[in-house]
Structures are given as structure tokens and as C-alpha cells.
Structure 1
Amino acid sequence: MHHLRTHTRSMLILAAALIVGGLLSGMPAAAQGSAQTADSDAAAADQGRRVFLTIYNGDLALVRDVRVLSVAQGRSLLSFTDIPSRIDATSVSLKSLTEEGSIRILEQNYEYDMVSGDQLLRKYLGQRIEVCTQDGTAYVGYLISAPGSGESLILAEEPWGGSIVAIQRSEIRVIRYPQIPAGLVMKPTLVWSLENISAQTEHEMEVSYLTGGLSWSADYILTLDDDDQFADLTGWVTITNTSGVEFEDAELKLVAGDVNRVRDEVFYYELARSDKALALGTAPAFEERSLFEYHLYKLGFPTTVKNNQTKQIQLLSASDIPVEKQYVFGSIPGSTRWYGQSDKAKVVLRFKNSEENNMGMPLPAGRVRVNKADVDGSLEFVGEDSIEHTPKDEELTLYVGDAFDVVGEKVNVSTTRVGSNARREKYSIELRNHKTEAIDVHVVETMTSGSFEILEKSHDYKKIDAYTIEFVVRVPADGSATVTYEVMYTW
């Protein structure tokens, strides 16, 4: 064409029409196929495909993808598509399960130069393209600029110069290219140059890699009985997949624990042992076992984890768990979290993760929602807290909320300096109970130094740790009680 501007609408043979801004229009099958690795001698098919998916806490997963492939003797190329966009390319490993050592890996490449409007423009810099504007005008010329979004696209009549035209991106309806340029792929692709040194040409090949975009968490529902003395616990696993690919009929494992990672890599061992069913009273969905210094939960059936999907699977179910409800004024013993100061008593639930309490399995960290039935039988939400990874036979402590009818007031009665290396302090703590029944209140006091001595006290106390003491005080119905003590610090 000798003129940059034309009003003809003829299509180029085998042209792919790409509307700038992201709309793909009329791309023929031949053009789509060329976006993959065209020179591969062996293609990864789905025949006999098996997927093993191990998801860790903290946006990390180990994928093992097994496929039956035809691999020619000697040297050839092999490509795998359906690869997550957040794959750690340095973690990729490929091997033959059919005959160990029969496949030598000569070179490994991760191709992720994806087809996009901007990428096509960059690849066609200096080459001939056709641009159609909103009013139907067609321009054919050599692209001499690869603009960013919002900039003009500049075409020249000849590659060495001649007349030029600048077209605003907002005016462009369609850009037509002769073909998809080499080097661009439709999906992230792993490509190997390999050598088959065996007589076997059909191999079961396994590729394994680490990837981001997959995570899991645990959520629990604790339902209290009428007297707050027993509870039922159900646990759910929530899996989120934003990796960019679907994992169909995957054998799923979940690892609970703080796995050390160095620059987005992971140190792990597959040393599984001590299988144990998790769910109690129901058919177990997961089996729990040890994995190095962590805990692994294996799903008992294959599951499909779709891209951009959140999936929930029941982890456990336990009934009639003995629960102790406490009113705590001060800090909460056994908890490392800070809940703030309040003049109201905190409501705390405690129970032991033991077989005697119908539990006794390692619990992954997660959020615990607490429900209780109203007088009409409907369940109501009464509070929530989070738990850390909890081994069996350890106690769980849940801060549910503040008691409406139980308040306290702490007063520093006096502070006296004793010589140059001691100080005496007196405190009075008044507890008021506006309930219609008597209750016990746990008054927990944190000392400012580990070097202290209680000189006087109104109630017996228990030393929790080097800095903490606890008084258990009976407060009558619609009444009050006062705790006093004097402490001396030395240094």
C-alpha cells in the first residue's frame, strides 16, 4: 500500500485482530496455537494425569504433576502448560517415574512472555501492521513507536521514513497483526531440552515445583450448651486459590506449622508417620500425621481446586467438650495477646485439647467463633478469638468479650520508697457483681519487676509466672468484694 490512509476494510490473511484495551476479537485457531512452544517434539497431554497438591500456611504450595508422555529416544523438547503464574522457577524438578535416570535434563526454561496488547506492539516495532479507528478508517504502515497506555501510536509509510501518522489510543478500535510473533506464549509454559537414553519411549513424567497463590486457614465454630459447661466444636479448612490455574482431582495435603523460608524458598521433608483420623463422630475427611516438626492433614478423597475459588472442607467435629467459663479482671493468663484495659471483667473460655475431653488432635491455627442458643432455640453469635497451632493435651484459652454485669476498679492506695533499693506499693481492687447469682472472679495482677514479695494480702493467691499472680475471689449476687495487697519491689 502506497498511502498511509485508506478507507478499505479488507482483512489480512491469517491476521489476528486485537482491540487495544484488552478485547480479543476473531483470533483464528492457527494463531492461538502458535503462541505455545511450536517446536516441541513431545507435548504434555492429560493422559493418565495425576496432581498432588500440598498447601502450606503463608501463601505457598508444593505441586507434583504426573503425566504419561511419549518421549522419543535421543534429544527432544518437552513443554508443560497449565503452570501457575507465581511459580518459583528455581524450584522446578522433572524426572521419569517409569525408569529412574533414563531422562537427562539438558536445559530448563520458564516462558512467561505472555500475549498482551502492549507486548504485541513492542514485538511489532519496525514492522507492518494495520490499525482501524472508531470511524472505520484503516491505516497500514510500519510501527515506529511502542507507546504506553494513553499515548499515540505512530505509523510510517516506509520503514526508513516517509509520511507518518499519529493515532490516539482512544480512537483505535482494532489492530491487525500478520501473526503472533515468536517468543510469546498464551499461558506460562515450562520447556525442557532433554535426552532419553533408554529404549522406553512412553514415560510417566513427574514435574514438581513451589508456587504462590495458594493458601489455607482453619476456622472453628464452638457451640456452648445452656449452662456454658459443655460445647461442641467443628473445624473447617478454608482453601484459597489465586495461582492462575485449576488443580483438577488433586490429592490434597495441608501442612500446619511455621515453615522457614529463605528468599521465597522452603525447607521441608516428606517424612510422614503416625496416621490419625481427625473427625470424631463423623466420617473423617482428613487424616493427621507428623511431617518433620510440623503436622500434615491429608484429605481422604480427590478434590478440584479451581482458580479464583475459595473452598471449605470439614476438618473435624467433636461433641460434649468440658468447658470452664471464667470472669477475669486484668490480663489473661496463658495468653500472649494484648486485649486492652477495661473496667469490665473479661469473659474467658478454657478447655483442654485432650482425648478425655473428646478431642486430642493437633489443631491448626485459626479463628474460633463462639455461638450459643437463645431461649427460642436459635443460635446467636457471642464472640470470637484466634488460636495458635495447638498440640494435643494443651489448654486453649478464648477471650469471648467483656461481661456486661461484672465490673472492677483498681486503686493505688500508696507508694513508699524504702531505702535506695526498694519500693512498697498498696493496691485495692473492688469487684462489683450485678448478676442474680454469685460468681468467681479471677483477678490477675502483673508485677512491674520479677523481684517482688507480697507483704500483705486479703485473699490467697497463686503465682502464675515470674511476673504474674492470680487471686480467685467469690463475689456475691448483686454484691461486691474487695481485694487488697501490698507488694515490695527490690533492685
Structure 2
Amino acid sequence: SIMLAGIPGNLRARPALVWLIKNEGPKKQKIEVTYLASNCSWKADYVLKVARDNSRADLSGWVTLDNKTGKTFENASLKLVAGKLHQVLPQPAVSDLAREYRAAPMAKAQMKEESFFEYHLYSLPRKVTIKNNQTKQISLLQAQGIKVKRVLIAKNNSPGFYYSMYSGPSRKSHPSIYIKFKNSKEDGLGIPLPKGIVRAYQESSDGSTLFIGEDRIEHTPKNEEVNLKVGEAFDITIERTQTSFEKLGSRSVENGWEIKVRNAKDKPDSVILEEFIPGDWKFVSNNPGFKKISSNWVRTIVEVPPEGEKVLTYKVRIKY
């Protein structure tokens, strides 16, 4: 081993990047250095508080900064680019190092949003300090009273059309609950939304705010629809039964279906039914009428009375 009395001036104990710059002019020059740093990331999270009548909601968005660069950034200007940027090098793995978590206080001004290249840029109108190995939350947006709609949708994409009684006499399921809204200024929003998780809440009868489900959104431009799948409806039951099956040839079948929609609530409700029908097909009977919405999907809206039931039947002929 070699023992030195001290570290020489041109020797660094830790890896470092050094710029050697020559100024051939008579005046001082301002140098701007741009480089990519790994292990510094951000994500967006949202809280959607839905009114009791499911017609309005308040949306708050937060940016979570995660600094594992090994460096503290003091009074830094913060600009976040939202979009799918192509990078040749793979993203570094997320470390499980212990870190401090601190939520920053609500900013007086929300982040400023603007278009940038083919992405969107979010700038914080104040300086921010984030320590090494620290996670910090900063307010992204606040919107009150946006128009929302609660929708129940039951989708059936099971491949049972080619088989006779393929899964027993019937199958029961519950429709998915969607909270939908348009990201428009007319509906109370109109702000490009970075991708992230939206957590939905609603007040109970005693005023307690309770979690009702969550979903992930992709980057959402203004004037686009947002559809949040937050759970399944407890009191609505869908029962599908294959009522007939006949093989018409080597590549042709005909089968019938019965769909019962039951409502255990003390008030009426509506359910959107969507059925996937494979191959080259046509209805033999259809009561009440499903409408074709694409080459292999049909849809109908069922109004179900309180503590009541609606029954739908159809028969379809398929070539494959």
C-alpha cells in the first residue's frame, strides 16, 4: 500500500466531471452547462373528491420529486417536461434506500403550464430546495366544481360463442364503475394532465371523506375525455346464460343468449352492456336492440327499476 501525507491538488477522492474552458476575449463570459443527471425523477398524483350526487368534483394534483443523485439542490428553478421522451440508455433501477419524506406547503401560485416542442412544460414560479435522498411534494393544480358523471359498464369479451354451454348454466358478474369527465375549460378544467394515479374520494352521510377507488391516467391533453375505473357496483348483478347452440357447418355456428340485469337498490339505475361477438356475424334476433359500435362490439343501455330486473335476449349467427 502507498500512504500519502495528503491528497494532491489534482487528485479527487470521488468521481467528478471537470470542464476546462479557455476565454480568448478581453471580457468575462457567461457559461451555461447542460447535462443529463440520473436518479432524479418525478411523478404526478391526483385527488378527486366527488360530490354526493356524482355530478361535480374537486381535483387537486401534486408533483412528487425524488432525488437520489447524491447532491442537494438549493434554491433551484424547477421545470418538468411531461410526455414520452425517447432515450437510448435504459432508466436506472429505483433504489430502496431509506429517505426523508416531506410534503411541501401549498404554493400560493400553481405551476405554470405551456406547450414545449411536442410535450408540455410545467414551471414552478418560485425556487425550490430538495435534499439528497429526499422526496418532496409540490402542488401542481387545483380545480373546483368540474363536471363529472358516474357510469356503470358491463363488458363481456368471453370467447364462448364457439362452444355449447362452455362454462356451465350461467355466469354472474358486476358492472365496472367509471367516473368520467372532459378535460375542458367549459367543464371546469382544460389543463394538460401529466400521467399519474387518480385517487377518488366521497363524503359519507356523516361527513367523513372515504376512499372509493383509484385508476391510472395517461398523459391527457385538454379537451380529451378522462375515464376512471374505480371499482365494481355491489348492488347490480349481471347474469349471462347461453340458451341455445347449433353448429350449422364446419365453420358456422348459431347460439342464443339471455342477459338478466338485477338492481338491489331502492332507486332506479342504468347500466351500459357491451358484448364482443367474434368472426363474421349477424343477429338472428335482438330484443331489446343492441347497436353495433365497431366490427365486433355491440352496445345497449338498460334502465333497471328499483329492486327490479330487466331481461335481454339475442341470437347470433357466426362464420369463422
Normalised by the shorter chain, which TM-score bucket? 0.7 to 0.9
Given the alignment of the two structures, is residue 307 of structure 1 paired with residue 136 of structure 2, yes or no? no
Is the 1:284–1:316 contact (alpha carbons within 8 Å) kept by the matching residues of 2?
Answer: no
Is the 1:459–1:473 contact (alpha carbons within 8 Å) kept by the matching residues of 2?
Answer: no
Given the alignment of the two structures, is residue 244 of structure 1 paired with residue 70 of structure 2, yes or no? yes
CA distance in 1, matches of 2:109, 2:248: 64
CA distance in 2, matches of 1:224, 1:231: 4
Q: Which runs of 5+ in 2 are unaligned?
A: 92-106, 158-170
Give 1:78-89 correspondences, 5 Å limit: none
User: What displacement does 1:183 show?
Assistant: 7.2
User: What displacement does 1:191 show?
Assistant: 1.6
* Aligned-partner residue type, residue 325 of structure 1: R
Q: Which residue of 2 aligns with 1:68?
A: none
CA distance in 2, matches of 1:331, 1:238: 38
Is the 2:23–2:29 contact (alpha carbons within 8 Å) kept by the matching residues of 1?
Answer: no
Cα distance 1:374–1:195, how it changes in 2: closer, same or farther (>3 A)? same
CA distance in 2, matches of 1:426, 1:417: 12
Cα distance 1:306–1:490, how it changes in 2: closer, same or farther (>3 A)? same
Given the alignment of the two structures, is residue 195 of structure 1 paired with residue 19 of structure 2, yes or no? no
Which residue of 48, 60, 66 corresponds with 1:234? 60
Given the alignment of the two structures, is residue 480 of structure 1 paired with residue 309 of structure 2, yes or no? yes
Q: Which residue of 2 aligns with 1:489?
A: 318
Q: Which runs of 5+ in 1 are unaligned?
A: 1-123, 130-176, 266-281, 333-340
Cα distance 1:490–1:399, how it changes in 2: closer, same or farther (>3 A)? same
Please identify runs of 4+ aligned residues in structure 1 that moved more than 3 A.
177-184
User: What displacement does 1:319 show?
Assistant: 1.5
Which residue of 219, 236, 246 corresponds with 1:389? 219
When the two structures are superposed, what TM-score results if normalisation uses the length of structure 2? Answer: 0.84
Deviation per CA, 1:214-235, whole angstroms, max 9, x where unpaired?
Answer: 1111111111111111111111
Q: Which residue of 2 aligns with 1:73?
A: none
Deviation per CA, 1:152-202, whole angstroms, max 9, x where unpaired?
Answer: xxxxxxxxxxxxxxxxxxxxxxxxx643478753443222333321122x3
Which residue of 271, 291, 295 corresponds with 1:441? 271
Q: Which residue of 2 aligns with 1:321?
A: 146
Is the 1:456–1:487 contact (alpha carbons within 8 Å) kept by the matching residues of 2?
Answer: yes
CA distance in 2, matches of 1:415, 1:185: 79
Is the 1:410–1:428 contact (alpha carbons within 8 Å) kept by the matching residues of 2?
Answer: yes
CA distance in 2, matches of 1:363, 1:321: 14
Per the alignment, in what secondary structure is the counterpart of residue 49 of structure 2? strand
Q: Which residue of 2 aligns with 1:48?
A: none
Give 1:155-170 correspondences, 5 Å limit: none
CA distance in 2, matches of 1:214, 1:206: 20
Given the alignment of the two structures, is residue 454 of structure 1 paired with residue 280 of structure 2, yes or no? no
Give 1:348-363 correspondences, 5 Å limit: 348-363=178-193
Per the alignment, in what secondary structure is the counterpart of residue 314 of structure 1? strand
Cα distance 1:418–1:470, how it changes in 2: closer, same or farther (>3 A)? same
Given the alignment of the two structures, is residue 416 of structure 1 paired with residue 246 of structure 2, yes or no? yes
What is the aligned-residue RMSD (CA, Å)? Answer: 2.3
Q: Which residue of 1 aligns with 2:199?
A: 369
Of stretches 395-404 and 462-471 in structure 1, the one that deviates more from structure 2 is 462-471
The count of aligned residue pairs is 292
CA distance in 2, matches of 1:190, 1:229: 56
Q: Percent identity?
A: 39
Q: Which residue of 2 aligns with 1:428?
A: 258
Per the alignment, in what secondary structure is the counterpart of residue 220 of structure 2? coil
Deviation per CA, 1:99-120, whole angstroms, max 9, x where unpaired?
Answer: xxxxxxxxxxxxxxxxxxxxxx
CA distance in 2, matches of 1:407, 1:219: 32
CA distance in 2, matches of 1:331, 1:196: 71
CA distance in 1, matches of 2:275, 2:179: 19
Which residue of 266, 286, 295 corresponds with 1:466? 295
User: What displacement does 1:352 show?
Assistant: 0.9
Deviation per CA, 1:61-102, whole angstroms, max 9, x where unpaired?
Answer: xxxxxxxxxxxxxxxxxxxxxxxxxxxxxxxxxxxxxxxxxx
User: What displacement does 1:396 show?
Assistant: 0.8
* Aligned-partner residue type, residue 290 of structure 2: Y
User: What displacement does 1:331 show?
Assistant: 5.7
Per the alignment, in what secondary structure is the counterpart of residue 209 of structure 1? coil
Is the 1:460–1:471 contact (alpha carbons within 8 Å) kept by the matching residues of 2?
Answer: yes
Per the alignment, in what secondary structure is the counterpart of residue 203 of structure 1? coil
Which residue of 243, 261, 282 corresponds with 2:87? 261
